[in-house]
Amino acid sequence: MGGARYDVVHWAHAVTLYAPSPPARVLGIDPGLTRCGLGVVDGVPGRPPGLVAVGVIRTVAGDDISARLLAIEEEIERWLTEYRPDTVAVERVFSQRNVRTVMGTAQAGAVAIVCAARRGLPVALHTPSEVKAAVTGNGRADKEQVTTMVMRLLRMPDRPRPADAADALALAICHLWRDTATQRRAAVARSGHRTPTAGLAAAAGVWSGGDT
């Protein structure tokens, strides 16, 4: 289809027997027409996230836009079927200088959202600064810092390439942690009890520097 190529790396992931509940699974999508990053991460409150799969959908720039978007949709659908995520996290499109790049990113992101909605899956949108802050603690971190932290948190022996793959994993980690913290705050609010901020961070599996 339209010269699209798919680069996928699969990683085995065993659920720990000590996990209090089955892990939540998030599919992170870094949208783009030429390269669309995909990353699947499992996690439970208070424990490091686990890598399930990471890959990149590639389409040829010279192909018709309809064929490229269709190729992206078909591959995202395949990932949804194979990995069965609980949630899909997509990077929120923001203003850039290159209008053409913004349009392509928005179109690919819309395809991802539609694929998730078709299956009744919740979709979360996170800005790049939110993702950087969640993964590195710095909302202005560069791509090298994000990739390094993704490798450390997921205990990856090799660097995910291209950068779109690392960004997709970072999106998944960001949502896993932010969503867990949000759910716990809501539960605390419903119970009428106060929970220390440090407890929320620990429950969400957030670490500030150092080896994990």
The residues annotated as belonging to the active site are: 30, 91, 164
CB 45 within 8 A of CB 203: yes
As a whole number of angstroms, the distance between CA 78 and CA 181 comes to 30
As a whole number of angstroms, the distance between CA 100 and CA 90 comes to 19
* Pairing relationship of beta strands 87-91 and 24-30 according to DSSP bridges: parallel
Could you give the maximum distance between any two Cα atoms of the chain, in Å?
58
CB 43 within 8 A of CB 169: no
